[in-house]
Amino acid sequence: MQNKVEVMGLRTYIITRILLTIPTLLLLLSMVFLLMRVLPGDPVALHFEKKAEPAQMDEMRRLLGLDKPLWMQYADYILGLVDINYFIAHGYPNLGKSMQTFEEVGGQIFSAFPATLELAIYSMLIASVIGILLGVASSKKYNSVQDHLLRGFGTVAYAVPVFFLGIVFQLIFGVFLHWLPIGLRISPLVNPPATITGLYTIDSLLEGNIFKFFESLKALILPSLTLGIILSGIFVRLTRTNMLETLRLDFVTAARARGLKESTVTYGYALRNAFLPILTMMGLQFAMLLGGAILTETTFSWPGLGRYIVQRINFRDYTAIQGAVVMFGLFVTVVSLVVDILYAYFDPRIRL
């Protein structure tokens, strides 16, 4: 049990990290603003490919607030993002309006985000379990046939294009075996659960509807398995490398010498110490997934953020793209914060 000093240390660390996140976020938001306003030129001109009538471009600038002085636009931009009243009223931050439909970009992003989050969670779970278990198994039989095979799996898994693996799974499990749906978030014959979190599996459980939970899970199997297997390739190799180093350390030998079971030595001692770099990688990969797994979402007709961003790019909808970049930056920042906190929890040395 942690003593009072250690708890205070962790608490201080957490508070410090949260406070440090604020200037990080401010820097991120400012950089996004500058990139969209200054470096590539006028987003309205780019939207119209610099060939629109001046009146047409001026009207769009006026509607989007782009006719104001730069400092005023920046102020509106930052104040809009931190507008608590807007957030409370809408449930999402003020990210401006779409250049194509003039709908709230925040609304569009947050309507697509739950699907992406759900896919990311299950994919990461699969990737972690497969990657870590296989990585450990590989490290235990160093330089054996098993080791080579598992390393090979790790390489192949990461190299396979996600759409290829996805289509193969769709053909096998959907078209030939008719075991699983090839796309969409839930069977068309089942009404989605009432929206609480937007994650169908969680909302089904909150609704107490086990049938919907399993229907949602069924729809998640193929896309999360596809993405999970591909990501597991990274974790296999990373786990193997870290475990090989850790298994050579004296404390592991000492643990074995004390007569502890091999599984306890491996998972209770070695893996715990080798886990931290894996945790960092998990955080990074999860943050990437939150930006939308474009190919997976397209392959499995998953209505997530990835498909949204591709559509907005096709329409050259720069305000929507800006909003998506801001949200992606926020996700990465938050996930990094969580990883750092978990890191500090697992490794007290970090807090010193």
| Interacting residue ranges for another protein, rule: CB under 8 A | 48-49, 51-53, 98, 100-101, 103, 108-109, 111-112, 115, 167, 170-171, 174-175, 178, 181-184, 188-189, 191-192, 195, 298-301, 303, 305, 307-308, 311, 314-316
40 Cβ neighbours under 8 A, 6+ residues apart: 46
Specify burial of residue 199 (Cβ count, 10 A radius: 0-12, 13-18, 19+).
buried
Interatomic CA distance for residues 228 and 119, integer angstroms: 10
Rounded to a whole number of angstroms, the minimum distance from the CB of residue 57 to another protein is 11
Interatomic CA distance for residues 123 and 286, integer angstroms: 9
Phi-psi sector, 108: left (phi>0), alpha (psi -120 to 50), beta? alpha
Q: Which is nearer to another protein, 51 or 258 (CB)?
A: 51
Q: Which is nearer to another protein, 112 or 202 (CB)?
A: 112
Rounded to a whole number of angstroms, the minimum distance from the CB of residue 111 to another protein is 5
Interatomic CA distance for residues 50 and 42, integer angstroms: 9
Q: Which is nearer to another protein, 65 or 183 (CB)?
A: 183
Q: Which is nearer to another protein, 190 or 206 (CB)?
A: 190
Interatomic CA distance for residues 313 and 321, integer angstroms: 7
Interatomic CA distance for residues 342 and 63, integer angstroms: 44
Rounded to a whole number of angstroms, the minimum distance from the CB of residue 312 to another protein is 8
Rounded to a whole number of angstroms, the minimum distance from the CB of residue 106 to another protein is 11
Rounded to a whole number of angstroms, the minimum distance from the CB of residue 271 to another protein is 39
Q: Which is nearer to another protein, 9 or 174 (CB)?
A: 174
